[in-house]
Structure 1
Amino acid sequence: MTSTPTAPAVPVPAPHSAGCPFGPPPAYTEAAATAPLVRADLPGGEPCWLATGYADVRTILSDRRFSADVRHPNFPLLVAGRRELIAKNPSFLRLDDPEHARLRRMVTGDFLVKRVEAIRPAVQQIVDEALDRMTDGRTEADLVADFALPVPSLVICQLLGVPYEDRDFFQSVSRTLLTNTSTLEQLTEAQDELLDYLRGLATRKRDQPEDDILSRLAVRDDLTPHDVASTGILLLIAGHETTANMISLSAAMLLDRPEQAARLADPAAVPGAVEELLRHLTIVHTGLPRVALEDVELSGTTIRAGEGVIAMISTANRDESVFGDADRLPVDDLDLDRDARRHMAFGFGVHQCLGQPLARAELQIALATLFRRLPGLRLTVPRGELAFRTESFIYGMRSLPVTW
């Protein structure tokens, strides 16, 4: 590696700051202030690159010279042994074209903006009913368990055709698969259990198809029940975990910023506010891994063929050269009036999040409705006592105790 030899390598993953729990770990922001490309060490001691600047991250995620194929021997992963596990059942997220494009096209239509706009009334009903249950005869709740998690879980279950009554099972195994401290034995068991569950569901839907994504995949002649299950794992986990954590983190931030929360009362301001929350929080704090297929020069540094690189979208989304505005709040502050449309919270390039139209709709509806219906919403514990899921690949909150 050709970075400055005296610069210490940045640990990936790095610990968060208790004093600033909503931002990227300090090691990443300090690295970003030093250089757009720095050396990093994975948990097993393997070296890789850490890209922190907006321009380099955008290039890495869109340039075909960087591979997303987890089967590459030098692909950077944060958990020892996870390579073999993922390589057995790679989702299209962990593959390159043409395999990636072939599998992704099979479900793209279900997440188009037009399709998502058509189900907005159904999402609104799910949000309203969740708040009805949460507030029925109560004045306190855990916003994570009672609202942020049930809403996207029910939405993705309806779209996929997964029985919502099985939510405790798939939420439990999802957490295991997303936790970077899970052992290889725990990961294998969780993946096998979820694959078996979805294979069985796909087999039943092949015989008795319904109007849902898994049924449409199950009746295809070019897919086996195992193929359907592998795609189903990605959609099920991404469909509820990411949005659930964004809802709870966003709510926690806005509870401390009532003047900004008030912006959600204006329907015209809600889409832009959600984009700023996505930019500011960027819940994938561990970055997006890639491996160089050939020598590539970025910011005056050569990444050699076969070297791993982590595209740190959380720091890229706080790049002053892109999102800074001297006349408003600094880039590391939340500003719901900021133009944040160029953020990369959903990734970038051909692998960017397939479900982003759905996530945007859910966030817009959930947050606007929450603060409209519960204008007196507030925490029931000191902010310093809030517990965060620092061990997860998808950053979030363990609980959010509130009253109204």
Structure 2
Amino acid sequence: MSRGQCPFDPPPELARLQTEAPVSRVRLWDGSTPWLVTRYEDVRAVLADPRISADSDRPGYPHVTPASAARRKRAKAFISQDDPEHAARRRLLTGDFMVRRMEALRPRIQHIVDELIDAMLAGPKPADLVEAFALPVPSLVICELLGVPYADRAFFHRASRTVIARDTTSEQAVAATEQLLDYLADLVRAKEKDPGEDLLSRLAAGQLRTGAMTAEEIAAMGQLLLIAGHETTANMIALGTVALLENPAQLAEIRDTGDPKVIANAVEELLRYLNITHSGRRRVATADLEIGGQLIRRGEGVIAAGDIANRDDSAFPEPDRLDIGRKARHHVAFGYGVHQCLGQPLARIELQVVYGTLYRRLPGLSLAVPLADLPFKHDMIVYGVHELPVTW
């Protein structure tokens, strides 16, 4: 399918802008006209420039939806702050997400993946791969890491969906945010009294007990990690599976290889090719500067469009072709610069285990409905599929 027909491709208009007007004005829901940046090198320049702020409270910041603006005012996480505040909060978590620490979780992640596949094999066909596998894998992992009871998943899955839906009202988004914050703050206070071997217990002991942070501030941090820790990876698992089922030769290569380097490389290419964050990374200029030959004034909003940047042929030859042999580690699916995704080592390992196991254990995996009938998440800030009926 050509670009624009394929559900994995960015909109054709983005491709046109990348060629003809790579830094151009767009109009948002509130009438504001921030700059949309579409070329790979320009996107990296935006995300690396200290004169471009991630602070969502600054005038001119281009919020995705009214609901997004409302909930960020209620619970501002460190990804919406600038240094030095951003760096200070991020440092509290850096050790928890170091590559070595995440690698130590690989056997546990493998066990979770195998148990969920066992349950699928013992259950009925067809099955919804989202509900049976893609959503539970990262949910279980992030719950264990944070110390959030997995038994409460129905609550936080529902709240997360409300927060990231494009049609959520401001009132609904704030209400869901309040519920999550109250839940996590209560959990943090309980962990201060009865700590476990988890991230929230560590923050409760090191920050709450010393008065460095309040339970609500830790809860805001926990909310970001909880939502980002399951929504993004769950969608990559499901959408990546659909993409591979549409490219059976490459799925077969992943299924049949015994080389973990082949799997790791495939993960990077799928992250580049799919890039499930379709709203761009939002910023605002704090000084006059030039990006891609265009003058951007202080106070003007900037949107760095990572999905189309990952399809820039100056960085990735034949960018609309999925090629799991491509060296794609320099993609911007996790962002770039100081706000680059903190949890990327965990996401990479989860995806490596999933892609390296699922197709091998279910060699006959196939869609149970036509591709055109899949409910793609055009209504959500994080792209994927709502359901994925499969058989094997």
Give the CA RMSD over aligned residues: 1.1
**2:176 corresponds to 1:194:** no
Deviates further, 254-263 or 355-364: 254-263
Task: Percent identity, please.
Answer: 52
Letter in 1 for 2:43: V
Shift of 1:36: 1.7
Shift of 1:84: 4.3
Letter in 2 for 1:340: A
The one-character-per-residue Cα deviations of 1:49-105 (angstroms, maximum 9, x if unpaired) are 000001110011011000000010210012125434312321000000011011111
Letter in 1 for 2:229: G
In structure 2, relative to structure 1, the CA distance for the partners of 1:81 and 1:260 (3 Å cut) is closer
- Report the count of equivalent residues: 383
The aligned runs of 1:76-115 (5 Å cut-off) are 76-80=62-66, 82-115=68-101
Structure 2 regions of 5+ residues with no counterpart? none
Shift of 1:190: 0.3
Aligned residue number for residue 219 of structure 2? 229
**2:297 corresponds to 1:307:** no
**2:57 corresponds to 1:68:** no
Aligned residue number for residue 284 of structure 2? 291
Structure 2: distance between partners of 1:164 and 1:81: 27
- Normalising by structure 2, we get a TM-score of 0.96
Aligned residue number for residue 12 of structure 1? none
Structure 1: distance between partners of 2:267 and 2:329: 10
Structure 2: distance between partners of 1:357 and 1:137: 32
1:297 is paired with a residue whose SS is strand
Match of 2:235 among 242, 245, 263: 245
2:4/2:10 contact within 8 Å kept: no
Match of 1:322 among 309, 315, 329: 315
Letter in 1 for 2:114: D
1:320 is paired with a residue whose SS is coil
Letter in 2 for 1:161: G
Match of 1:254 among 226, 244, 250: 244
Aligned residue number for residue 264 of structure 2? 271
**2:152 corresponds to 1:159:** no
Structure 1: distance between partners of 2:372 and 2:68: 34
Shift of 1:34: 1.5
Structure 1: distance between partners of 2:178 and 2:295: 40
1:263/1:270 contact within 8 Å kept: no
2:26 is paired with a residue whose SS is strand
1:323 is paired with a residue whose SS is coil
Match of 2:126 among 137, 140, 163: 140
- Normalising by structure 1, we get a TM-score of 0.93
Structure 2: distance between partners of 1:286 and 1:184: 18
In structure 2, relative to structure 1, the CA distance for the partners of 1:172 and 1:97 (3 Å cut) is same
